[in-house]
Amino acid sequence: MEFFVTAFRLCGDFDEITFTFRVNEGPQIDAYIFTPEDYERYLRGLPPNRGRSIVVEGVQSATGDPYLPRGDYTVVIDNTSFGLAQPTGEGVRVFYDVAASFIPISDMPYYVLFGLILIAGLLIFFLSFASRIRDSDRERGFR
List, for residues 38-87, the tens digit of each pLDDT value: 999 999 999 888 778 999 999 999 999 998 888 999 999 998 888 888 88
27 conformational bin, left if phi > 0, alpha if psi -120 to 50, beta if neither: beta
Upper half-sphere CA count for residue 53 (Cβ side, 13 Å): 24
Q: What is the pLDDT of residue 104?
A: 53
Kind and range of the H or E run holding 139: helix 108-139
What is the overall mean pLDDT for the chain? 83
By CB atoms closer than 10 A (0-12, 13-18, 19+), residue 80 is middle
Q: Are 58 and 96 in contact (CB under 8 A)?
A: no
pLDDT at 107 over 60: no
| Mean pLDDT computed over 84-110 | 76
Query: pTM of the full predicted structure?
Result: 0.68
Which of 37-51, 103-117, 124-138 is least confident?
Answer: 103-117
The CATH number of domain 3-102 is 2.60.120 = yes
CA distance 74 to 9: 9
Detail the DSSP E strand segments found in the chain: 3-25, 29-34, 54-59, 61-64, 67-78, 93-101
Q: Are 77 and 94 in contact (CB under 8 A)?
A: yes
Q: What is the pLDDT of residue 85?
A: 86
CA distance 140 to 30: 80
Q: What is the pLDDT of residue 111?
A: 63
Q: How many residues does the chain have?
A: 143
